[in-house]
Amino acid sequence: MFNIFKRGIDKKLLQEVDPANLPRHVGIIMDGNGRWAEKRGLPRTAGHRAGAQNLKTITEFAGQMGIPYITAYAFSTENWKRPKEEVDALMQLLLDYLRDKDQLAGKNVTIRVIGDRSALSDEINREIDVIEDYTKDRDGMVLYLAINYGGRQEIVRGVNNLCRRVQQGELEPGDVTEAMLSAEVYTRDVPEADLIIRPSGELRLSNFLLWQSAYSEFWFSDINWPDFSTKDFTQAILDYQNRNRRFGGR
């Protein structure tokens, strides 16, 4: 069935997964890193580092399971409001992991970065270009890292692009369709999110994949992201497979 029977993986639970009914695109809100660290008397930056390590674990596991796309919420447009010391530490952590190309997501994973890169440093933007080029020919999972990303910002960006086409005479205002706007979002080349996972006990989207989640299934847990295990991921997949997705129909 699955060739991923490694230590720490719940083999019995994994056997229950239907490989013919896997979500094509999973969104993950990596929440609870700071709380994980505080509970252990550690600085919040330690939690972010542990969370980044766990992203590699979950991404590799999901890819071997056969899930083709994951979008991970790494840094939102609202996260700039956090204390400067924490933001600076997050940017340094991002830089460190971008430079360690196989550490970020594991082998055979294609990495793409989505979001407004204009607010990121030149150094980070250079490393993003390097890792995207380095991983572009891989044939495994595609990992979208959402950095300085906001769902509302993404939609406004797409609307502005369509407005420019109207202004240039390429379109009439009444010609704009949902499909045209779908073609303007950052993840336009992949299916919309089938499943969105959010650990840490919060029950909201927090401006994540707003356009792409119109018919997503949601899975919440109280587990902080660094403690979110392959067993938890497997349970999320099983719960997804047990739901009846009607897409507005009966």
At 7 the pLDDT is: 44
CB 144 within 8 A of CB 114: yes
Cβ 30 vs Cβ 37: under 8 Å: no
Distance (Å, rounded) from C-alpha 74 to C-alpha 144? Answer: 10
Banded model confidence at residue 5, pLDDT cuts 50, 70, 90: very low
Per residue, the 3-state secondary structure of the chain, as one string, reads CCCCCCCCCCHHHHHCCCHHHCCCEEEEECCCHHHHHHHCCCCHHHHHHHHHHHHHHHHHHHHHHCCCEEEEEEEECCHHHCCHHHHHHHHHHHHHHHHCHHHHHCCCCEEEEECCHHHCCHHHHHHHHHHHHHHCCCCCCEEEEEEEECHHHHHHHHHHHHHHHHHCCCCCHHHCCHHHHHCCCCCCCCCCCCEEEECCCCCCCCCCCCCCCCCCEEEECCCCHHHCCHHHHHHHHHHHHCCCCCCCCC
Which pLDDT does position 11 carry in this prediction?
80
Q: Which pair of structure tokens corresponds to residue 169?
A: 């005479």
Query: What confidence score (pLDDT) does residue 244 get?
Result: 86
**What per-residue confidence (pLDDT) applies to 246?**
77
Torsion angles phi and psi, residue 197, rounded to 5: -110, 130
Task: Name the pTM for this structure.
Answer: 0.92
- Identify the active-site residue in 10, 18, 21, 79: 79
Q: What confidence score (pLDDT) does residue 6 get?
A: 47
Domains of the chain: 23-158+192-240 (3.40.1180.10)
Mean pLDDT value across residues 212-232? 97
Q: 119-153 pLDDT, tens per residue?
A: 999 999 999 999 999 999 998 999 999 999 999 99
Tell me the pLDDT band of 100, cut-offs 50, 70 and 90.
Answer: confident
Known catalytic residue: 31? yes
**Per-residue pLDDT at 200 exceeds 50:** yes
Cα–Cα dist 243/246, whole Å = 9
pLDDT in tens, 57-92: 999 999 999 999 999 999 999 999 999 999 999 999
Mean pLDDT of the chain: 92
143: part of which helix (H) or strand (E)? strand 142-149
Q: How confident is the model at residue 10 (pLDDT cuts 50, 70, 90)?
A: confident
- Distance CA(212)–CA(191), nearest Å, equals 8
Which pLDDT score, from 0 to 100, does residue 105 have? Answer: 61
Determine the pLDDT at residue 108: 85
Q: Which of 3, 10, 18, 31 is the catalytic position?
A: 31
Closest to 27 (Cα-Cα) out of 220, 158, 181, 231: 220
Q: DSSP letter at 247?
A: T
* 111, β-bridge pairs: 143
Q: Report the distance separating Cα 171 and Cα 148, nearest Å.
A: 30
